[in-house]
């Protein structure tokens, strides 16, 4: 086991929970490297994200690799770039729409052609990840809403959580459907996603 994150509302609750974790670890013979431990932090970096005060940010260290990513010259490089940016897609509204021209390059039947359209998508994703994004963390005691929209081309959803709308979003979701062939056109009300 590598990382254990213990959440708590306050310091005394954190200490109580820490005692329980240490006892269970001891009971089951798990060794803890106390030199690598951090206790009672209000801000942590975890899995490429920074978590602080019920907010989630992409780690600047991780987004820096996206911002400095060189223009792709091969399909494999596009794949790597989309892997990096896709990890943070929850921070970018309409991610799949913006990334579509790059994603299209990954199709087997598509020759690699990094043109104006692909360059615009590439630059826009880099620009958006450079901006300071923030999402709220899900909290059970708060009311939540999911707003959705769909068309024949795709669907989108936004997950809201904060009744005061200070940090309204928990995540953004978008996905595009392959465009149907003309003979397959069906009314949007009958679309199945």
End-to-end CA distance of the chain: 38
Read off the tokens for 162. Answer: 């904060």
pLDDT tens-place string over residues 107-154: 888 889 999 999 999 999 999 888 877 776 666 677 777 777 777 666
- For residue 172, what pLDDT band results from cuts at 50, 70 and 90? low
Taking the C-alpha atoms of residue 52 and residue 63, their distance in angstroms, rounded to an integer, is: 17
Give yes or no for a contact between 129 and 63, defined as CB atoms under 8 angstroms apart: yes
What pLDDT, on the 0 to 100 scale, is given for residue 160?
62
pLDDT tens-place string over residues 57-70: 888 888 888 889 99
Kindly report the pTM of this predicted structure: 0.69
Taking the C-alpha atoms of residue 164 and residue 154, their distance in angstroms, rounded to an integer, is: 30
Taking the C-alpha atoms of residue 180 and residue 155, their distance in angstroms, rounded to an integer, is: 15
């Amino acid at each position: 086991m590598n990382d254990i994150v213990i959440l708590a509302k306050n310091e005394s609750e954190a200490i109580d929970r820490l005692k329980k974790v240490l006892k269970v670890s001891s009971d089951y013979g798990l060794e803890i490297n106390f030199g690598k431990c951090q206790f009672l932090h209000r801000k942590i970096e975890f899995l490429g994200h920074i978590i602080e005060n019920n907010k989630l940010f992409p780690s600047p260290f991780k987004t820096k690799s996206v911002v400095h990513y060189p223009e792709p010259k091969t399909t494999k490089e596009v794949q790597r770039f989309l892997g990096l940016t896709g990890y943070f897609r929850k921070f970018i509204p309409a991610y799949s729409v913006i990334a579509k021209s790059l994603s299209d390059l990954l199709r087997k039947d598509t020759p690699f052609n990094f043109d104006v359209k692909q360059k615009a998508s590439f630059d826009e994703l880099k620009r958006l990840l450079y901006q300071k994004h923030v999402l709220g963390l899900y909290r059970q005691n708060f009311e939540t809403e999911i707003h959705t929209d769909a068309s024949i081309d795709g669907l989108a959803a936004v997950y809201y959580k904060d009744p005061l709308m200070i940090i309204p979003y928990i995540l953004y979701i978008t996905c595009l459907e392959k465009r149907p062939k003309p003979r397959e056109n069906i009314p949007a009300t009958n679309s199945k996603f």
